[in-house]
Amino acid sequence: MKAIAEFEFSPQSLDIQETPCKILIVDDEERIRAAYRHLLAGEGRIIEECGSGSEARHRLEDRDVDVLILDLNLPDIHGLDIMEWMVHQHVPTAVVVFSGDESIDSAIRALRHGAFEFIRKHGDPQELIDTVDRVLHRRRIEREQALMTVRLEQSERLHRFLVEQSPDFIYTLDKDGLFIFVNGRVQAMLGYTREELLGKHYSMIVYPDDLEHARFVFNERRIGERASNNVEIRLQTRTRGVRHFENRTIVTILSAQGIYAANGQPTDRQFMGTSGVARDITDRKKAEETIAFQAFHDLLTGLPNRILFKDRLGVALKQAKRKNKRVGVMFIDIDRFKLVNDTYGHHEGDELLKCFAERSRSCLRSGDTLARQGGDEFTVLLPDLGNGDDATVIAAKMLAELKRPFKVAGLDFFTTVSIGIALYPDNGETPEVLLRNADIAMYQIKGRGKNGYLHYAPDMHSGHSMRLTLEGDLRQALEIGDQFELYYQPQISFSQRRTIGMEALIRWHHPRYGLMMPDTFIPLAEDTGMIVALGEWVIDRALCQLASWRSKGFTRLQLAINLSPKELERGDLPERIMRRLDTYAIPAEVLDIEITETLLMQDAEKNISTVKQLRNCGLKVSIDDFGTRYSSLNYLRRFPINSIKIDQSFVRDLNPDKQSSTSIIHAIACIARSFDLRILAEGVESEAQRQMLSGLECDDMQGFLFSQPLTAAAFEGFLSGSDFPARDRATAPLM
């Protein structure tokens, strides 16, 4: 069969009328639509908007929209359903998905449903602008080609021109599979000239591994709907490189059908060969591979994420059961990682994570898997273990490797890890149980001082079960409200020999475990967020009790209440406290809010602002446990506080026979006097301690030497009958 000859075609200039480009924005949030409208506004553009999927479908029925900016999560119809409807209705509008949906599956499905691009809302706005510009440019080219086709539809020359200008590789084969026509696109796509392919067999451009699969497509005899359509075939370039092909809507693209002579009856027509079209989708394949990688890997470290890790663990467990082998799971947490983030910033923290991942991987076997669970937590899968000691050897190797310092902000930073180990089948037979038990073991080693590894033991689980039980009981206690009680520890002025105030301390009367101290449940309340509700209860109950004592004539008592850092984070804290003071008719200056010294180091600027608001309301503010952290004197100068409390650990170390034991308290007292602050020593338990504190001009004290924390009724008796009564009663109790 003779090859089709070359031709030349120079189409006349078409009079294409400039029409405004129509852009339809579909999003259920009005402010986001307004932002899109502002971003995409330009000359020659008409921008419309819809707030729901039904409105969008109704508007798209007119088939005059050029670009659809589509959010997937609409209130009535999912964006993918709209795209599927557009395919069935043959709506020619180009779709740009601009969604807040972080799901990788949504991105892949959107591309496969025909989306021109998938852009996340939280990305760079310029990406949306550039994408719309590209779409409109492509739409203009498509419009020009469509007009050309309509005007010259019957022209064979125009037909050949369009074939030559097509972005797709178009070819014709004779009945023996030899090329008799290829368009000019083949040279840009595969590197072959037309002359190099004409008369050659199609197998010349097919990747060898796909030859058997390609045989059915390149020898296609069927026509119409039964013909080969959207078949993925790998073709190789002139240099034997591999390329991928696909159409716009689904993954595979190579389409072909038989060619028959026009004469004779349909059943008697002579088979002449095969024609086909192939589109290069190399870039899209790379994009899909990238999306697939991101779905199962941590982008920062390149390690498998928890999804892929759990899948591999499941496979390893099945193989271990069949081979009667052990599987090890390690849960790893980097000690003091938060210090790096807080001190040097998240960039340096990310660099530390990447270096840690690289070093840890070097300690593992080729078949092991290191994964990042999130934050500074990692997991390790150790398949095919002979015994549990093998996991111990690897853990010890990791600890030894991490003894070398990391570079953080140009400085040597020594870090350690806490490793929990669980074994199959000894410590669990499912991925969930093994991960949970390794996590429990990791927290156990953290509680024992960190920097080590520990195998899971069944008795560890009881502690976690106890914690979960207490969490549920604490929530119920907050709802009921009658299981808590406030105790009050007197604060005295020794020189005046009178009680000047008290610190409110909460106790929990647990229905099963009896009276529980704050150290047992306050950390749990802080971890679970219940500390805010608990703090509300303390403030309300303490102020109610103070109002009762004031009505009995004890009007000069100072009430001290501890404040959790989480409570300080709430912007409405001053307003909430003032409302309760107004409710009980208590002056603001009698309430002393105690905050820990740690708050000086955590978001200092925000906390300084909050403390200033408290002081502007007339409240007093004290720093509790002063001297136990590493706060800057500059922060101390900037915090508008009234007093500092000397931590009991310093008071406990006071020794009349050791002169140096007073040095820290003496320094704190000097600091307090230089800032004109009141000081109060807590934890005073002996007369010797009291005398030394008085010698250091620390007159205000609290501790067991004077009284342990008392119930409200016992404290009221202390105010009248102790060696340190509240002698400042201005009026007699009302009868």
Q: Average pLDDT of each block of 10 consecutive residues along the chain (735 residues)?
A: 41 56 89 86 88 90 89 86 88 84 74 81 80 85 72 60 75 88 83 88 85 83 78 78 44 64 65 84 73 81 90 92 91 85 82 91 90 91 85 90 84 86 91 90 79 84 65 87 92 92 93 84 81 91 94 91 82 88 94 79 71 89 73 65 85 79 82 86 91 90 93 92 70 39
In sequence order, what are the beta bridge partners of 569? none
Q: Is 193 helix (H, G, I), strand (E, B) or coil?
A: coil
Q: What pLDDT is attached to residue 317?
A: 93
How far is it, in rounded angstroms, from Cα 229 to Cα 246? 10
Residue 484 sits at φ, ψ, to 5 deg, of -100, 150
| Percent helix, strand and coil across the chain, each to the nearest 5 | 45, 20, 35
pLDDT for the residue 161: 66
Contact present, 574 and 614 (Cβ < 8 Å): yes
Token pair belonging to 310: 């759990």
Query: In this structure, what are the phi and psi dihedrals at residue 277, rounded to the nearest 5 degrees?
Result: -135, 140
Q: How many other CB atoms are there within 10 angstroms of residue 237's CB atom?
A: 13
DSSP labels for 313-344?
HHHHHHHHHHHT-EEEEEEEEETTHHHHHHHH
Edge-to-edge strand list for the sheet holding 169-174:
179-182, 169-174, 271-278, 255-260
Give the span between the Cα atoms of 640 and 622, in whole angstroms: 9
The two three-digit tokens of residue 488, written as one number: 């009050």
Compute φ and ψ for 403, nearest 5 degrees: -70, -25
140: Cα within 13 Å, side-chain hemisphere: 13
Kindly state the greatest CA–CA separation across the chain. 125
Helices 282-296, 306-323: axis angle to 10 degrees equals 70
Alpha carbon distance 25, 48 (integer Å): 6
Cβ-based burial of 197 (10 A; exposed 0-12, middle 13-18, buried ≥19):
buried
Using CA atoms, how far apart are residues 278 and 173, in angstroms rounded to an integer?
A: 14
Instruction: Burial-class residue 658 by CB neighbours within 10 Å (0-12, 13-18, 19+).
Output: exposed
Whole-number pLDDT of residue 465:
61
Q: How far apart are CA 101 and CA 161, in angstroms?
A: 43
- Per-residue pLDDT, 253: 55
**H helix count then E strand count, the chain:** 26, 27
- C-alpha–C-alpha distance, residues 345 and 23, integer Å: 42
Helices 346-362 & 389-401 angle (0-180, nearest 10): 130
Question: How high is the pLDDT of residue 600?
Answer: 59
By residue count, the chain amounts to 735
Distances (CA, A) of 102 to 12, 70, 108, 285, 291: 49, 15, 11, 20, 11
- Residue 163's nearest CA partner among 143, 175, 148, 178 is 148
Exposure string over 503-536, b if 16+ CB within 10 A, otherwise e:
bbbbbbebeeeeebeeeebbebbbeeebbeebbe
Helix (H) or strand (E) holding 579: helix 573-583
The answer to whether the beta carbons of residues 623 and 645 sit under 8 Å apart is: yes
DSSP element (H, E) containing 345: none
Whose CA is closest to 442, among 377, 385, 526? 377
Angle at 247 between CA 241 and CA 250, to 5 degrees: 110
The Cα 350–Cα 364 span in angstroms is 22
Confidence (pLDDT) at 634: 60
- Domains along the chain? 21-148 (3.40.50.2300), 166-288 (3.30.450.20), 299-456 (3.30.70.270), 493-721 (3.20.20.450)
Report the candidate in 378, 350, 343, 4 with the shortest Cα–Cα distance to residue 172: 4
- 312 CB-contact burial (10 Å; exposed 0-12 / middle 13-18 / buried 19+): middle
- Could you report how far apart the first and last alpha carbons of the chain are, in Å? 123
- Identify the residue whose tokens are 């193989």: 319
Looking at residue 162, its pLDDT comes to 65
Residue with tokens 């060696």: 723
User: What is the residue type of 678?
Assistant: R
Instruction: Kindly report the three-state secondary structure assignment for every residue of 658-721.
Output: CHHHHHHHHHHHHHHHHCCCEEEEECCCCHHHHHHHHHCCCCEEECCCCCCCECHHHHHHHHHH
Place of tokens 């009698």: 590
CB 270 within 8 A of CB 264: yes
Q: Which two tokens stand for residue 600?
A: 């000086």
Residues 234, 146: Cα–Cα separation, whole Å: 30
- Helices 458-480 and 431-447: crossing angle in degrees, nearest 10, is 80
Provide CB contacts within 8 A for 109, sequence distance 6+: 80
